[in-house]
């Protein structure tokens, strides 16, 4: 039995997620359900898309990924299922699935219109329970995606903020601040070949830190940038909260600069003055 994952802005304070799990278990009691997160800020489609993109590929082939950040629930926005080479993705057609499928080979997109795969009564405020949970469970049980509704040639894709790369600098931005206050950027960690401390991170004219291998490469309380587990450069404060103390919030621009030997020498002095 494939796994069903859930990503949403439903929170865990109310009974919404539990109710979806009841629906899944009613259709297939042996289903395995994994929560990715339900703490996406209400209506924040972009962050929901990023959370799914950062996690989906750690699940086994055949997993059905459900992502619901759905302020337009009940309106004319479409609901879709996407089959890729390895996974299924189910959710509203508002972009919440689009970051995850960027790296996947898409096989089929279907619009969820076949009410035979929904609960008998479909509310206009909780499609997670009435439509997405049942559809996902039927897919996990082996229903053909083609039965869910008509084929779609396109779906809503959110812009991904590509960093601007030149010979000596990468201009990127903060994408996400995690629970530890680490600021995850859109700068691919793969761009920062070793030795990493040739690279330094700036916010505007302010030097934040150099790039190192792990958090404790710097003393407690000091900033450091590391190749993060999501595949992007992330800016942290060892033992602290980088987002709060360095003022790094989503969409804030940051810049990585390749430091030459001369500028390393310069940095040493500047660094001492600067603190």
CA separation for the pair 185, 200 (Å, rounded): 14
Contact status: 142 vs a copy of itself (CB under 8 A): no
β 232-237/183-188 pair status: antiparallel
Contact status: 42 vs a copy of itself (CB under 8 A): yes
Is the Cβ–Cβ distance between 215 and 226 less than 8 Å? yes
Shortest CB 240 distance to a copy of itself, Å: 9
Contact status: 188 vs a copy of itself (CB under 8 A): no
> Quick one: which of 91, 92, 149, 227 contacts a copy of itself (CB under 8 A)?
227
**Cβ distance to a copy of itself smaller for residue 181 or 267:** 181
**Cβ distance to a copy of itself smaller for residue 123 or 146:** 123
Residues 239-258 that bind a copy of itself (CB under 8 A): 239, 241
Is the Cβ–Cβ distance between 250 and 175 less than 8 Å? yes
- Pick from 126, 117, 127, 124: which is nearest to 27 by CA? 117
CA separation for the pair 58, 156 (Å, rounded): 24
Shortest CB 146 distance to a copy of itself, Å: 25
Helix H or strand E segment including 244: helix 242-246
β 88-92/64-68 pair status: parallel
Contact status: 103 vs a copy of itself (CB under 8 A): no
> Quick one: which of 21, 86, 141, 203 contacts a copy of itself (CB under 8 A)?
21
Both structure tokens of 251: 């969409």
Collapse the DSSP code of 171 into the 3-class scheme (helix H, G, I; strand E, B; otherwise coil) and give the result.
Answer: strand
Binding site for a copy of itself (CB under 8 A): 1, 3, 5, 7, 10-19, 21-23, 25-26, 29, 32, 34-39, 42-43, 51-52, 54-56, 58-60, 63, 71-75, 123-126, 129-130, 178-180, 213-217, 226-229, 234, 238-239, 241
């Amino acid at each position: 039995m494939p796994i069903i994952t859930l990503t949403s802005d439903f929170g865990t304070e109310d009974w919404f997620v539990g109710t979806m799990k009841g629906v899944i278990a009613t259709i297939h009691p042996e289903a395995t359900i994994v929560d990715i997160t339900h703490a996406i800020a209400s209506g924040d489609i972009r962050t929901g898309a990023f959370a799914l993109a950062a996690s989906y590929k750690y699940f086994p082939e055949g997993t059905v990924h459900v992502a619901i950040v759905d302020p337009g629930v009940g309106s004319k926005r479409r609901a879709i299922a996407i089959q890729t080479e390895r996974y299924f993705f189910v959710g509203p057609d508002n972009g919440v699935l689009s970051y995850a499928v960027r790296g996947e080979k898409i096989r089929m997109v279907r619009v969820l219109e076949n009410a035979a795969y929904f609960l008998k009564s479909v509310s206009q405020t909780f499609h997670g329970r009435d439509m997405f949970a049942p559809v996902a469970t039927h897919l996990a049980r082996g229903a053909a995606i083609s039965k869910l509704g008509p084929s779609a040639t396109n779906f809503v894709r959110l812009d991904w903020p590509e960093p601007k790369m030149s010979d000596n600098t990468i201009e990127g931005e903060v994408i996400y601040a995690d629970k530890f206050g680490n600021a995850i950027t859109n700068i691919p960690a793969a761009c920062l070949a070793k030795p990493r401390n040739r690279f330094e991170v700036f916010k505007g004219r302010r030097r934040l830190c150099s790039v190192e291998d792990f958090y404790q490469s710097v003393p407690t309380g000091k900033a450091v940038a590391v190749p993060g587990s999501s595949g992007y450069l992330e800016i942290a404060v060892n033992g602290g909260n980088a987002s709060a103390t360095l003022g790094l919030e989503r969409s804030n621009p940051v810049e990585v600069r390749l430091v030459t030997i001369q500028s390393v020498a310069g940095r040493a002095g500047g660094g001492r003055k600067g603190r």
